[in-house]
Amino acid sequence: MFSDRIEGKWIKLFADLFGHSGVADGDEVVILSETQSRNVNVHLSELALIQLGAKPVHVVVTTPKQSAVVPIRSTGATAALGFQKPAMAALSFGGLVIDCTLEGLLHAPELPGILKAGTRVLMISNEHPEILERLGIDTKLKDRVKASMKLMRGARTMHVTSAAGTDLTIDLEKSVVGGGWGYTTTPGTITNWPGGLCLAFPARNCVNGTLVLDTGDQNLTFKRYLEQPVHLTIENDYVRAIEGDGLDCQLMRDAISVWEDEEAYATSHVGWGMNHQAKWVSMAHYDRGDHNGTEQRVFAGNFLFSTGANEIAKRYTLGHFDIPMRNCSIQLDGTDIVVEGKLVDQLA
């Protein structure tokens, strides 16, 4: 277990991050947190803003009562805000919001209204500061992620294969493409730190094929490396079969079925990681409470497949899996993007 002692090096790291997001002397900045937030990150945000001469304002909402029969994890959609009018007014002020909630605002229903006001949101993932320190701020990510987003927006089809047996086809024509590099200066935008992910939210009936989760792939809802392969059959976005031997298959079957919600079986988003500082092996070094799996989502060359809510397809559910996979090959309209887990040269 780590100590939550404030370290000067972490204050400097946060200050550098906020500087890249355009924070200047005299700026008013809102820090959004909830009562169960990782306090060390909230405090570091405050101290870093003060160091830059900014004026931090705290908005703290109560972490809501657990409403589901299983823990809600890895959704990217905090339930703490709840459209509370005082909080919404404070967040819709048109400046910078530092988001330190447990799940984040990325897929929260309140986000569109906040962004519409011109507010920019910087989500700090619920990681121990040591993880944030290791990943740091990579200013080269911006151009690489933007290049990937451009390629994905211009493509009609994504094809994902692997030696383990994955053969998945995604129609991208009506998808919405996103990505992040960890900081933002553009009004009405949101980013996630650590960054380094390019992804697409496909429209309805666009994902078909076989996805084989191999030994060593990661189920981030459980914060667990898979020890035995799991075969998923996907038809028109929905996982129709979950097959395999051993605990990993059983856990996935039961964790989806317990929601009693067909949308929990649907495809949420697909994409690839681009952050060379992020390492697949790092999850083995941390207790589950010390990390949130963001590093695993963004490590370079992974194929990230997710189930659950997809606003583009008008599907909503609390059931969600983020599954970063190694050793996959990804093509856009027949052009290599990732080859056996390695980004092609122009994106690497």
Please report the pLDDT score of residue 317 as a whole number: 87
How far, in Å, CA of 100 to CA of 36, rounded?
10
pLDDT tops 70 at residue 1: no
Please report the pLDDT score of residue 272 as a whole number: 98
Quote the radius of gyration of the chain (alpha carbons, Å): 19
Please report the pLDDT score of residue 34 as a whole number: 97
| Domains defined along the chain, listed by start | 8-124 (3.40.50.2300), 136-179+195-343 (no CATH)
Question: What's the pLDDT tens digit per position in 287-302?
Answer: 998 999 999 999 999 9
pLDDT tops 80 at residue 190: yes
Question: What's the pLDDT tens digit per position in 224-259?
Answer: 999 999 999 999 999 999 999 999 999 999 999 999
CA-to-CA separations, 253 to 256, 291, 319, in angstroms, rounded:
6, 24, 12
Tell me the average pLDDT across 10-18: 98
Please report the pLDDT score of residue 2 as a whole number: 66
Looking at per-residue confidence, does 213 or 3 come out higher? 213
Q: Is 77 in contact with 309 (CB distance < 8 Å)? A: yes
Q: Is 41 in contact with 58 (CB distance < 8 Å)? A: no
Question: What's the pLDDT tens digit per position in 39-74?
Answer: 999 999 999 999 999 999 999 999 999 888 888 777
State pTM to two decimals.
0.94
Please report the pLDDT score of residue 307 as a whole number: 96
Tell me the average pLDDT across 101-118: 94
Question: What's the pLDDT tens digit per position in 200-225?
Answer: 999 999 999 999 999 999 999 999 99
Please report the pLDDT score of residue 265 as a whole number: 97
How far, in Å, CA of 127 to CA of 194, rounded?
9
Q: How many Cβ atoms are within 10 Å of 232's Cβ, its own excluded?
A: 23
